[in-house]
């Protein structure tokens, strides 16, 4: 037996933290996985099992690895290779555990496919900071890109060799801020990649003497780090199914209904997509993030954005057409974020909602009456407000097993209590360290 490499059997919790257990790679049992404990899902983002999680010291579960998710990570300086498996949490008799975040997404995907006959294609776009006391380089600049070498080229190679299909790596607008995108894939793979991407970037940065943080903001007035979710639909033959020339925004009626479902549940949705206390420092006007719920054409302050298509050299806009959800950050669980997004959109499809008004200008150019007529509504301005909106939305609350939903509320309430009395600067420091 050649026990020379470790595997990590992973899950991702309600605070977006990746947890699990490691074992020898050639001893991984793909059928039964490894042991797990219900109370582990009750660990808050700062590392404490909350007192009112609903799970005591009793109970046993299994982390059952999905062989399709196996990702071998190698090439990180000074670190041995390791294979990551994303896992489903199951009872010891093999039944699905109702509180498993990954199973939540899988069921949402299956329900969408059954109801529409369509397949989703998804990509997560991440922003993060390389924590540094040095003077920042100019945003988007060649200087910034080259001075991060050899980290940038090394990181892209590690991701490519791991099968993550990285596309772009660039210095973003904020101080020491970076963005990394990957190619679209099926939605479960896309969310798995989002989990792994964060861990690989943090691991690579640490191995090279640096620190990467995915916290929503590192200082109260600083630039925010978002997690933007791009998605499109295809039919059974693989043909694009979102675009319809001549309709508003060139958006098909089904796509418009999906968008209307997301916008209609947006106030509740952000309690799951942006679930930290400091997420709402980012979700503010003029931050190029989402402070209001509306559908925008190329507007980067929209909750949902119709992304630009190009027709250079005869390119077909139909195959490029996609929507971008912009109100997420890396304090969220990617499986929960995407599953909730899918179910909210599917609710709009099943209710046959009309395509929302499409904002094709700056919001400041619309007066209050015009904004109201366009259905533009403010998002919650704090985590407590977002949690209240989630509790009030019976549809979104109904997406979840009651115990899972209660646990999310309990973790967030404990998080708020732990931060009580801290300044925004002190809160940002806590999250910067955790993420």
The class level of CATH for 104-434 reads: alpha beta
Query: Please, which pLDDT band fits residue 53 given cuts at 50, 70 and 90?
Result: confident
- Domain range list for the chain: 6-97, 104-434
Query: Please, which pLDDT band fits residue 2 given cuts at 50, 70 and 90?
Result: low
CA dist 1 and 145 (Å) reads 44
Q: Average pLDDT for residues 243-247, to the nearest whole number?
A: 93
pLDDT at 299: 82
Q: Average pLDDT for residues 264-286, to the nearest whole number?
A: 95
Please, are residues 28 and 9 in contact by the beta-carbon 8 Å criterion? yes
Task: Tell me what the pLDDT averaged over the chain comes to.
Answer: 95
Is residue 55 over pLDDT 60?
yes
CA dist 284 and 117 (Å) reads 37
Share above pLDDT 90 across residues of the chain, in percent, rounded to a whole number: 86
pLDDT in tens, 57-69: 888 999 999 999 9
Please, are residues 391 and 402 in contact by the beta-carbon 8 Å criterion? no
Q: Is the pTM of this model over 0.85?
A: yes
Q: Average pLDDT for residues 239-243, to the nearest whole number?
A: 94
The class level of CATH for 6-97 reads: alpha beta
pLDDT at 6: 97
CA dist 275 and 194 (Å) reads 17
Q: Where do we find the tokens 């980290």?
A: 151
Give every CB contact of residue 132 below 8 A, 6+ residues apart in sequence. Answer: 176, 210
> DSSP letters along 316-385, please?
-HHHH--EEEEEE-TTS-HHHHHHHHHHHHHHHHHTTPPPPPEE-S-GGGS-HHHHHHTT-EEPPSSHHH
The tokens describing 384, both together, are 């407590």
Residue 99 Rama label (left phi>0; alpha psi -120 to 50; beta): alpha
Q: Average pLDDT for residues 226-230, to the nearest whole number?
A: 97
pLDDT in tens, 69-115: 999 999 999 999 999 999 999 999 999 999 999 999 999 999 999 99
417 phi and psi angles, rounded to 5 deg: -65, -40
What three-state secondary structure class fits 53? Answer: coil
Is residue 393 over pLDDT 60?
yes
pLDDT in tens, 312-345: 988 888 999 999 999 999 999 999 999 999 999 9
Q: Average pLDDT for residues 348-370, to the nearest whole number?
A: 90
Neighbour tally for 57: CB within 10 Å: 8
Q: Average pLDDT for residues 426-434, to the nearest whole number?
A: 96
> DSSP letters along 132-172, please?
-SSPPPPTT-HHHHHHTTTHHHHHHHHHHHTT--EEEEEE-
Is residue 290 over pLDDT 90?
no
pLDDT at 317: 87
35-39, 119-123, 371-375: which range is least confident on average? 371-375
Q: How far is CA 325 from the centre of its chain?
A: 10
The tokens describing 87, both together, are 């896992």
CA dist 352 and 100 (Å) reads 30
Enclosing H/E stretch for 101: helix 101-116
Is residue 27 over pLDDT 70?
yes
Is residue 1 over pLDDT 90?
no
Residue 88 Rama label (left phi>0; alpha psi -120 to 50; beta): beta
Largest pairwise CA distance in the chain: 72
Please, are residues 330 and 391 in contact by the beta-carbon 8 Å criterion? no
Please, are residues 84 and 212 in contact by the beta-carbon 8 Å criterion? no
299 phi and psi angles, rounded to 5 deg: -90, 120
Please, are residues 336 and 101 in contact by the beta-carbon 8 Å criterion? yes
């Amino acid at each position: 037996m050649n026990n020379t490499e470790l595997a990590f059997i992973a899950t991702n919790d309600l605070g977006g933290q990746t947890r699990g257990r490691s074992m020898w790679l050639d001893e991984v049992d793909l059928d039964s996985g490894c042991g797990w404990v219900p109370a582990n899902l009750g660990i808050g983002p700062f590392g404490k099992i909350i007192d009112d999680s609903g799970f005591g010291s009793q109970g046993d579960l299994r982390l059952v690895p999905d062989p399709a998710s196996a990702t071998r990570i190698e090439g990180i300086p000074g670190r041995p290779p390791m294979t990551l498996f994303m896992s489903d949490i199951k009872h010891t008799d093999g039944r699905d555990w109702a509180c498993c975040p990954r199973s939540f997404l899988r069921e949402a995907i299956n329900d969408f496919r059954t109801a529409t006959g369509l397949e989703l294609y998804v990509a997560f776009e991440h922003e993060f900071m390389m924590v540094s006391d040095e003077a920042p380089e100019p945003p988007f600049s060649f200087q910034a890109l080259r001075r991060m070498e050899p980290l940038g080229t090394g990181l892209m190679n590690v991701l490519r060799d791991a099968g993550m299909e990285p596309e772009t790596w660039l210095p973003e607008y904020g101080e020491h801020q970076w963005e990394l995108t990957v190619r679209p894939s099926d939605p479960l793979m896309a969310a798995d990649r989002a989990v792994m991407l964060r861990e690989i970037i943090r691991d690579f940065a640490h191995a090279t003497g640096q620190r990467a943080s995915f916290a929503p903001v590192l200082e109260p007035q600083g630039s925010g780090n978002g997690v933007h979710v791009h998605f499109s639909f295809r039919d059974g033959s693989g043909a694009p199914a979102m675009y319809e020339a001549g309709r508003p925004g060139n958006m098909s009626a089904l796509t418009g209904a999906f968008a209307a479902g997301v916008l209609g549940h947006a106030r509740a949705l952000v309690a799951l997509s942006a679930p930290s206390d400091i997420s709402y420092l980012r979700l503010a006007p003029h931050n190029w993030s989402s402070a209001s719920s509306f559908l925008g054409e190329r507007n980067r302050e929209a909750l949902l954005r119709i992304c630009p298509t190009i027709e250079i050299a005869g390119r077909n806009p139909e195959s490029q057409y996609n929507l971008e959800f912009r109100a997420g950050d890396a304090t969220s669980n990617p499986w929960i974020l995407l599953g909730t997004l899918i179910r909210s959109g599917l609710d709009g499809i099943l209710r046959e909602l009309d395509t929302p008004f499409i904002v094709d200008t700056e919001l400041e150019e619309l007066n209050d009456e015009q904004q109201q007529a366009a259905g533009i509504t403010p998002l919650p301005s704090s985590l407590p407000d977002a949690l209240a909106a989630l509790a009030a939305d019976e549809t979104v609350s109904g997406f979840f097993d009651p115990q899972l939903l209660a646990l999310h509320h309990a973790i967030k309430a404990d998080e708020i209590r732990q931060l009580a009395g801290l300044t925004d600067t002190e809160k940002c420091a806590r999250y910067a360290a955790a993420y």
